Amino acid sequence: MEISLLTLLIILAVIFLCYMSVTKNFYYFCDKPVASLKPTIPIINTFLLLFEKFSFFDLIDQLYKPFPNSKIIGTFNLLSPMWVVRDPDTVKKMFVKDFDHFVDHQSFIKDFDQSTNEVDALFTNSLFLLKQQKWRDMRATLSPAFTGSKMRLMFELVRETAKAMSTHFVQEAKTNGRQVHEMKDVFSRFTNDVIASCAFGIKVDSFAEKENSFFTMAKKMSFRPGKLMTLKFTLFMMFPKVMQKLNMSIFDRDMAMFFKQIIRDTIQTREKHNIVRPDMINLLMQLKTGSNISHEQENKVKDAEGFATVEESAIGKSTTSRVWTETELIAQCFLFFLAGFETASTFLQFLSHELVVNTEVQQKLYEEIKSFEEGLEGKPLSYDDIQKMKYLDMVITEGLRKWPPAPVIDRECVKDYVYDEGNGVKFTIEKGQLIWIPIFSYHMDPKYFPNPEKFDPERFSDENKDSIHPGAYLPFGVGPRNCIGSRFALMEVKAVIYYLLLNFSFEVCEKTQIPLKLRSGFGMFAEKGVWVDLKLRK
């Protein structure tokens, strides 16, 4: 079949327009006084990552390592220019001192129509994705719920869950003998029960009732590895309008409605019976009635709640009179679960592996825990008690260095920013452009942490921790938009490690992978899982 000249010209024109559209930004960095990666490399790597040819950690290092003497480099987020900040001092200047230019996270779902998608509105209304003034108001609203004084009240719920989990395994070991477990599953059940109690105000035992509805729904919400999930998120970022026209949702509809109804039912029950409990539901009830929760003044001693704890900025300590809708309030509970369920369990599995392969660290930590438990003389462990355990904090802090739950964080430039190093390197980061902070690469850079592959809690001893560059250790982010729940995460992790090590030694089994390898693709998952033999102590 012959093709007419006009048809051929149209085809060539379409091909040319597509080429121009794809390559329009390819020379963006040519007139900038900075090092940059060729535009084809990030695009190819993104698709290699999508098809699970290497891990997300590998991708971060591929952006960080090529230009060791550069403080900032240019690269691409698919086809759009993006900046990677390689220097901790520059991070502090940009995202603390000049925070007003970088208030927002990346527009994960652009042009989102909340009126047509009640499910994903729970996600887009969460603190993580709110923007500008609305984010500032929500941060000020929620911040008082995460102070040390509030954590003291909530710790009782966390302690009960951690102790119940340990008791379950002790009884199981006495009955069935050897206990070999995949630790991601173990800690997912633990974090599920903790968040169910602290965020949703309900008691769940995911060890006794393994397929309870709360845990089943939580698994649907988690970001499990897989090409389908990765492709789904990529399509939402690139074609949000098309995905909404197709009536697609990021999250499972039944799951989202399940959690939303639980919150509504719990609030109604508490209002009817005047029930007060130190959890997120109680906070929502106060906000629902228009009550402003004040940010209590605390005499915080540096590092008193752990080296990794981040401090609240003036934004979080301000007051706001904004009135929130039901969806906006429930979205915060939804985020609390989403963040707490997945990130804490992921970190805990890698920490358990480090305790398995570093037996001297495990033994020293066990001796501290045992000595402390004896000193309690039967009294229940408190929030202040667990902050006194220095070696426990050192172990957790080192674990967060080697296995940061958020290996990279992003910011979106909200107004043009003049970047000036003072040595001739000066240019403008334009509004709307994305900036990456490669936390994992900082944590594994021998310039900041000598022999970074070694799991060494002594880096964070009283004698050594002052030598650590404060901008190079960022497990909970940086600046006013850091993780609001750092205190909660740390007390949760410390409580479960305390009770498990008190009763069990973590030992190698036939399924333990040494050295541990990460699964290729997006996310932070062990290639063959993290398997541990929990051996009951005598």
Residue showing tokens 């959890």: 279
Instruction: Kindly list the strands in the beta sheet with 80-85, ordered across the sheet, starting from the edge strand earlier in the chain.
Output: 72-77, 80-85, 434-437, 409-412
Band (pLDDT 50/70/90 cuts) for residue 301 is very low
pLDDT at 291: 61
Instruction: State which of 265-269, 351-355, 469-473 shows the largest mean pLDDT.
Output: 351-355
Nearest to 126 by CA among 217, 18, 221, 9: 221
Q: What is the reported pLDDT for 5?
A: 67
**pLDDT, averaged across the chain:** 84
Banded model confidence at residue 433, pLDDT cuts 50, 70, 90? very high
Q: Residue range 430-443: average pLDDT?
A: 93
pLDDT for 224 beyond 90: no
**Can the peptide bond before residue 515 be classed as cis, meaning omega within 30 degrees of 0?**
yes
- Written as six digits, the tokens of 32 are 């900038």
Q: What is the pLDDT of residues 502-528, one digit of tens each?
A: 999 999 999 999 999 887 666 778 889
138 has pLDDT over 80: yes
pLDDT, average across residues 336-342: 80
Query: Count of residues for the chain?
Result: 538
pLDDT at 34 over 90: no
SS3 134: helix
Check pLDDT > 60 for residue 96: yes
- Report percent pLDDT > 70 for the chain: 81
Which residues participate in the annotated binding site?
483
Beta-carbon contacts of residue 181 (< 8 Å; ≥ 6 apart)? 531, 532, 534
pLDDT tens, position by position, 141-186: 888 888 888 889 889 999 999 999 999 999 999 888 778 999 999 9
Is the pLDDT confidence value at 113 over 70? no
**Angle formed at CA 525 by CA 524 and CA 530, multiple of 5 degrees:** 135
* pLDDT above 70: residue 41: no
pLDDT at residue 300 greater than cutoff 70: no
Residue 126 CB neighbours (<10 A)? 20
Q: Ranked by mean pLDDT, which of 51-60, 322-331, 425-434 comes out on top?
A: 425-434
> What is residue 244's DSSP assignment?
H
> Annotated binding site for heme, which residues?
483
Average pLDDT over residues 255-277: 82
**Rounded to 10 degrees, what is the CA torsion of 55, 60, 65, 67?**
140
Cα angle: 104, vertex 110, 112; to 5 degrees: 110
Q: What is the pLDDT of residues 177-207, one digit of tens each?
A: 778 999 999 999 999 999 888 887 788 899 9
- Examine the pLDDT at 67 and tell me if it is beyond 60: yes
Element (H, E) at 535: strand 531-536
Q: Does domain 1-115+407-474 have CATH number 3.30.43.20?
A: yes
CATH architecture entry for 117-303+313-398+483-502: Orthogonal Bundle (1.10)
Of 496, 494, 502, nearest to 538 by C-alpha is 502
pLDDT at 446: 96
**Dist CA 362 CA 505 (whole Å):** 8
State CA 53 to chain mean position distance.
Answer: 23
Chain centroid, CA 98 distance in Å:
23
Running DSSP on this structure, what letter comes out for residue 471?
A: T
* Res. 399: pLDDT tops 50: yes
Model confidence at 236: pLDDT above 80: no
Q: Is the pLDDT of residue 302 over 50?
A: no
Q: Which helix (H) or strand (E) holds 187?
A: helix 183-198
Average pLDDT over residues 310-324: 84
17 to each of 78, 306, 328, how far by Cα in Å?
18, 55, 42
- What per-residue confidence (pLDDT) applies to 364? 98
Compute the distance between CA of residue 130 and CA of residue 127 in angstroms, rounded to an integer.
5
- Residue boundaries of the structural domains of the chain: 1-115+407-474, 117-303+313-398+483-502
**532 φ, ψ (degrees, to nearest 5):** -135, 140
pLDDT at position 418, please?
Answer: 95
